[in-house]
């Protein structure tokens, strides 16, 4: 019997080739796209879940309020908070500082650039990173101990046992010797903590100076609670701790009139669950992945699958008249309804299974392109995990039930007697079919609007003036192996007489996201009179204003002729002068971190960081204690290629062992918005797929509808109806559905995009014409889809159509 059912299924699918092809193509594309999107979302949602006690690990955050009452969070902690927390709260099992740093490593005159992180000894037993060699309890007991990853052990030591072997690290401008005391496994891809090596946090350059200071922070802190500890209860108990150690800061905030935070205090300590750190964009300057992005992947995947299922349901129901006759004959011969349901649903399973196999092939074939476009890290191994295979099987079963269950029930419920008498008609569209078509085009219109608005916002961010001229400026990262100031001086001397070079300077912070992938920010808070000041602290060198195209408004620029410029003089931006309350601040003094600096000039405001956040006032200084991390070179725009070659060859003489990874600042600033570009790529790709699948379904429905109205069209033509009137008649019903979809999609899209834009300090206004363009595009596409069959039917010889009836 099963063989007979299978044979009938193949005959039915072959008989309706057009509809079978549309269903297979639609479902294949939907399956392939859905698999890629779901796997990516699943990977992002799995971050840090591999830790055995992930629910007991928390990152510390400070919570306070800005002057306008909005919450202000920060994860940067002072050195003494870690030991004091562990000493005063017995429910804390472990505490570790975490410095996200890199360093140069040397062995046998061979130098390597590695991610050497600084942490505390508790790190090794707080997190589930297995120790492969060495003892986790003692491996970081000494300041000269270093624990290296398995990959770093292979890179540096090969097959040699690294335990007890010395390594040299360039720390604080000097080479220091460390002894390898352990080998730790690699951090998984879905870990928010990554490393090549670990050393004690006390090796930090400023540790001795700030180890007892509560007003200086430069690292993250993670805590692990003992089993059974309620984090909310512990968090409430830490308020007394905050009031004790931050009393002076809290007093100053009260005197300045700052409002309390949402918990009712001036400053509070928050325990942020480890499982949410990967999704934190607030305390990481936008470096985290927003949950909105992840859920957008899931939603888009569901949208595309929904459209393919809608096509399948509509086509199956539209073909119900021909299947009704078959059902009537089978029922009259004694077939049970359950048997008929199984037969028709089995056809769905067969078709969906073929589509799933093709979809898996599509997903595998597009995986490299998908990874490149959406910055994913999918591999073939991700497809073969038991959880993915189980979810795929359950999803497949659910889709076959949804897509095939209702049509099968709908067809098998016909009365056999009525069908055989020819009294069953399903020629007019029903509420379900219309609702499903509206749903399809609502999704398509929604994705079109989102694509346009995201593209507009990206274009706005990329072209908004940022207060400096980022064109024709090359940024060259300086490795930890080099002294930045010496490298800058050498570059300046060797490029001095080059006709293609306009100016050379240096900075501690890159503009945009450079090829080295690093980012840093130094913020100082201090009192100026009775004003509470917070500003970015930027290390620069002479000719910075000339190199970056920043205007000098008052006073003078830094100059090598003034010896105090490299120690006690600073430049400030216009907004900093305004925050100080000074119309002419030149000659005035500021005292951040209890050190006195004199203002010698005021420059125009510029954005040092992404336009997602509002620009802070900036203080520019030349203190040698802050290293030069980037060499900046402005080149002549007339010969960019030759200028870049000159810079490359010169840099090779300065750093012969270092790879040249210089990049233009305008390219760096575009990389600021790679997350938005990924979102735009998702929306535009999904919109294209949604429109294509919707049009395929609309085409098939129009074809079936016109076939069922062949006699009506013939009669109208005989009575004198024009081709235009017939096309209008046949298209009108479908256009009503598309217009309804536009009206439904527009407010939903406006609300979603308005919420998304709230994440940006600088954003566009949503314009009405975006919805008009999206709607017009949907109408034109739908009209073209339907009109092809409508015109073909209207041009048919009425005699032939009436004779065929």
Residue-level pLDDT at 207: 87
Residue 105 and residue 10 share a domain = no
| pLDDT confidence tier of residue 24, bands split at 50, 70 and 90 | confident
Distance between CA atoms of residues 12 and 784, nearest Å: 29
Does residue 46 fall inside a structural domain? Answer: yes
| pLDDT confidence tier of residue 360, bands split at 50, 70 and 90 | confident
Residue 378 and residue 417 share a domain = yes
Kindly tell me if the per-residue pLDDT of 751 is higher than 60: yes
Mean pLDDT over residues 244-264, rounded? 84
Distance between CA atoms of residues 805 and 803, nearest Å: 5
| pLDDT confidence tier of residue 729, bands split at 50, 70 and 90 | confident
Does residue 804 fall inside a structural domain? Answer: no
Distance between CA atoms of residues 731 and 787, nearest Å: 7
| pLDDT confidence tier of residue 685, bands split at 50, 70 and 90 | confident
Beta bridge partners of 73: 63
Q: How many CB atoms lie within 10 A of CB 250?
A: 17
**Helix or strand run (H / E) with residue 24:** helix 17-45
Residue 477 and residue 529 share a domain = yes
Indicate the SS3 state at residue 681: helix
The percent of residues above 90 in pLDDT, for the chain, comes to 20
Does residue 378 fall inside a structural domain? Answer: yes
pLDDT tens digits, residue range 584-630?
A: 999 998 888 778 899 999 999 888 887 777 778 999 999 877 888 88
Mean pLDDT over residues 403-427, rounded? 61
Indicate the SS3 state at residue 174: strand
Average pLDDT, rounded, for the chain: 82
Which of 671, 703, 735 lies at the terminal end of a domain, its last residue? 671
pLDDT tens digits, residue range 689-699?
A: 888 888 777 77
Per the rule left: phi > 0, alpha: psi between -120 and 50, beta: everything else, 97 is beta
Distance between CA atoms of residues 324 and 412, nearest Å: 8
Residue 655 and residue 569 share a domain = yes
Residue 224 and residue 311 share a domain = no
Does residue 331 fall inside a structural domain? Answer: yes
Kindly tell me if the per-residue pLDDT of 672 is higher than 70: yes
Residue-level pLDDT at 85: 93
Residue 107 and residue 188 share a domain = yes
| Furthest C-alpha separation in the chain | 106
pLDDT tens digits, residue range 77-88?
A: 899 999 999 999
**Neighbouring residues of 699: CB distance < 8 A, sequence distance ≥ 6:** 22, 785, 786, 788, 789
Beta bridge partners of 387: none
Does residue 755 fall inside a structural domain? Answer: no
Residue 637 and residue 498 share a domain = yes
**Helix or strand run (H / E) with residue 463:** helix 431-463
Residue 372 and residue 306 share a domain = yes
Distance between CA atoms of residues 12 and 337, nearest Å: 19
Residue 296 and residue 172 share a domain = no
The more confidently predicted of residues 758 and 749 is: 749
Kindly tell me if the per-residue pLDDT of 429 is higher than 60: no
pLDDT tens digits, residue range 147-205?
A: 999 999 999 998 899 999 999 988 777 889 999 999 999 998 888 898 999 999 999 88
Which of 671, 696, 711 lies at the terminal end of a domain, its last residue? 671
Residue-level pLDDT at 127: 93
Kind of pairing between the strands at 57-65 and 217-225: antiparallel
Which of 361, 394, 426 lies at the terminal end of a domain, its last residue? 426
Kindly tell me if the per-residue pLDDT of 5 is higher than 60: no
Does residue 519 fall inside a structural domain? Answer: yes
Whose structure tokens read 């659910």?
398
Kindly tell me if the per-residue pLDDT of 425 is higher than 80: no
pLDDT tens digits, residue range 303-330?
A: 888 888 887 777 777 666 566 666 666 6
Indicate the SS3 state at residue 160: coil
Residue 200 and residue 338 share a domain = no
Q: Which domain holds residue 169?
A: 76-234+269-279
Residue 300 and residue 152 share a domain = no
Residue-level pLDDT at 427: 43
The more confidently predicted of residues 415 and 170 is: 170
Six-digit token string for 92: 């804390």
Kindly tell me if the per-residue pLDDT of 561 is higher than 90: no
Residue-level pLDDT at 337: 66
Provide the domain count of the chain.
3
The more confidently predicted of residues 352 and 797 is: 352
**Helix or strand run (H / E) with residue 630:** strand 630-635
| pLDDT confidence tier of residue 450, bands split at 50, 70 and 90 | confident
Does residue 802 fall inside a structural domain? Answer: no
Question: For residue 656, which phi and psi values (nearest 5 degrees)?
Answer: -65, -25
Residue 392 and residue 355 share a domain = yes
The more confidently predicted of residues 392 and 342 is: 392
Distance between CA atoms of residues 9 and 27, nearest Å: 18
Per the rule left: phi > 0, alpha: psi between -120 and 50, beta: everything else, 199 is beta
Does residue 709 fall inside a structural domain? Answer: no
């Amino acid at each position: 019997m099963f063989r007979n059912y299978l044979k009938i299924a193949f005959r039915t699918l072959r008989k309706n080739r057009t509809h079978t092809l549309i269903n297979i193509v639609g479902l294949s594309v939907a399956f392939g796209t859905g698999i890629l999107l779901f796997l990516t979302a699943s990977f992002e949602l799995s971050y840090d879940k591999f830790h055995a006690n992930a629910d007991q690990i928390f990152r510390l955050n400070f919570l306070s309020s800005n002057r306008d009452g909005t919450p202000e969070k920060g994860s940067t902690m002072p050195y003494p908070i870690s030991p004091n927390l562990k000493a005063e709260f017995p429910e804390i099992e472990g505490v570790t500082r975490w410095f996200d740093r890199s360093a140069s490593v040397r062995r046998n005159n061979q130098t390597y650039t590695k991610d050497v992180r600084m942490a505390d000894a508790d790190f090794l037993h707080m997190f589930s990173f297995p120790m492969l060699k060495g003892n986790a309890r003692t491996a970081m007991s000494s300041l000269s101990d270093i624990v290296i990853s398995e990959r770093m052990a292979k890179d540096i030591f090969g097959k040699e046992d690294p335990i007890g072997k010395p390594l040299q690290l360039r720390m604080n401008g000097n080479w220091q010797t460390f002894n390898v005391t352990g080998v730790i496994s690699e951090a998984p891809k879905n870990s928010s903590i990554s490393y090549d090596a670990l050393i004690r946090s006390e090796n930090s350059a400023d540790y001795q100076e700030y180890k007892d200071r509560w007003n200086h922070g430069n690292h993250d802190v993670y805590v692990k609670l003992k089993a059974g500890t309620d984090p909310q209860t512990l968090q409430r108990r830490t308020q007394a701790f905050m009031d004790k150690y931050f009393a002076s800061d809290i007093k100053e905030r009260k005197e300045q009139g700052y409002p309390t935070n949402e918990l009712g205090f001036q400053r509070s300590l928050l325990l942020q669950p480890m499982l949410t750190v990967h999704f934190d964009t607030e305390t990481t300057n936008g470096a985290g992945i927003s949950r909105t992005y992840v859920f957008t992947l899931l939603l888009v995947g569901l949208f595309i699958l929904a459209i393919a299922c809608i096509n399948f349901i509509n086509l199956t129901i539209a073909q119900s008249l021909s299947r009704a006759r078959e059902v009537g004959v089978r029922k009259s011969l004694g077939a049970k309804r359950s048997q008929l349901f199984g037969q028709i649903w089995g056809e769905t399973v067969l078709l969906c299974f073929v589509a799933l196999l093709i979809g898996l092939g599509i997903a595998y074939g597009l995986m490299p392109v998908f990874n490149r476009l959406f910055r994913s890290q999918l591999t073939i191994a991700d497809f073969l995990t038991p959880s993915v295979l189980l979810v795929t099987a359950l999803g497949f079963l659910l889709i076959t039930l949804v897509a095939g269950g209702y049509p099968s029930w709908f067809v098998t419920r016909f009365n056999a007697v009525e069908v055989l008498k020819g009294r069953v008609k399903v020629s007019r569209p029903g509420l379900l079919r219309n609702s499903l078509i509206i749903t399809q085009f609502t999704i398509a219109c929604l994705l079109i609007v989102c694509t346009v608005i995201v593209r507009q916002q990206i274009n706005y961010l990329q072209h908004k003036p940022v207060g400096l001229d980022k064109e024709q400026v090359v940024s060259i990262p300086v490795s930890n192996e080099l002294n930045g100031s010496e490298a800058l001086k050498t570059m300046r001397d060797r490029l001095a007489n080059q006709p293609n070079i306009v100016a050379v300077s240096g900075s501690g912070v890159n503009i945009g996201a450079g090829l080295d992938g690093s980012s840093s920010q130094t913020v100082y808070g201090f009192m100026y009179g009775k004003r509470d000041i917070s500003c970015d602290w930027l290390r620069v060198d002479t000719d910075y204003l000339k190199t970056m195209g920043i205007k000098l408004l008052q006073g003078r620029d830094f100059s090598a002729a003034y010896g105090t410029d490299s120690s006690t003089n600073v430049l400030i931006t216009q907004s900093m002068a305004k925050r100080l309350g000074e119309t002419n601040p030149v000659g005035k003094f500021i005292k951040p971190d209890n050190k006195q600096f004199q203002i010698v000039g005021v420059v125009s405001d510029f954005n040092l960081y992404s336009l997602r956040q509002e620009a802070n006032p900036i203080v520019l200084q030349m203190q040698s204690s802050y290293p030069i991390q980037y060499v900046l070179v402005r080149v002549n725009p007339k010969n960019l290629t030759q200028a870049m070659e000159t810079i490359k060859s010169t840099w090779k003489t300065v750093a012969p062992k270092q790879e040249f990874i210089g990049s233009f600042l305008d390219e760096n600033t575009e990389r600021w918005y790679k997350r938005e570009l990924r979102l735009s790529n998702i929306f535009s790709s999904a919109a294209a797929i949604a429109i294509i699948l919707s049009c395929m379904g609309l085409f098939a429905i129009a074809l079936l509808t016109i076939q069922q109205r062949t006699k009506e069209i013939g009669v109208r033509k005989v009575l004198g109806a024009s081709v235009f009137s017939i096309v209008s008649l046949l298209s009108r019903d479908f256009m009503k559905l598309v217009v309804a979809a536009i009206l439904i999609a527009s407010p939903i899209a406006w609300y979603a995009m308005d919420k998304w834009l709230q994440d940006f300090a600088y954003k566009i206004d949503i314009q009405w014409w975006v919805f008009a363009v999206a709607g017009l595009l949907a109408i034109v596409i739908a009209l073209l889809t339907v009109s092809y069959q409508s015109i073909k039917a209207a041009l048919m010889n009425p005699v032939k159509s009436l004779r065929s009836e």
